[in-house]
Amino acid sequence: MKKLRMIAALAVLIAMVTGAGCSHMSTTQQRALSGGAIGAGGGAALTALTGGSILWGTAIGAGVGAVGGLIYDDCQKKK
């Protein structure tokens, strides 16, 4: 239960930071940041459920999410 509270607090913090700082960013930067935030939350939740290291899961999820956001941005620009 303690891990879930930590994940919830982390998710709220990420949402606050990304929501406040995106107004001056380009769409590419916004997509990379939001992808990283979603990936970090997903990685933290998944490793908490499986019993792994939450720190590593968060870091790996953030990296994968940021790359995913950049790939999505590239696909949107090619349309």
Tens digit of each residue's pLDDT (9 = 90 or more) over 7-62: 777 776 766 665 656 678 899 999 998 899 899 989 988 998 898 888 999 999 99
Domain spans, the chain: 2-78
Q: CB within 8 A of 59, min separation 6: which ones?
A: 40, 43
**Single pTM value for the model:** 0.72
Q: Are 27 and 57 in contact (CB under 8 A)?
A: no
Instruction: List the one residue out of 19, 3, 11 whose CA is nearest residue 42.
Output: 11
Q: How far apart are the first and last CA of the chain?
A: 45
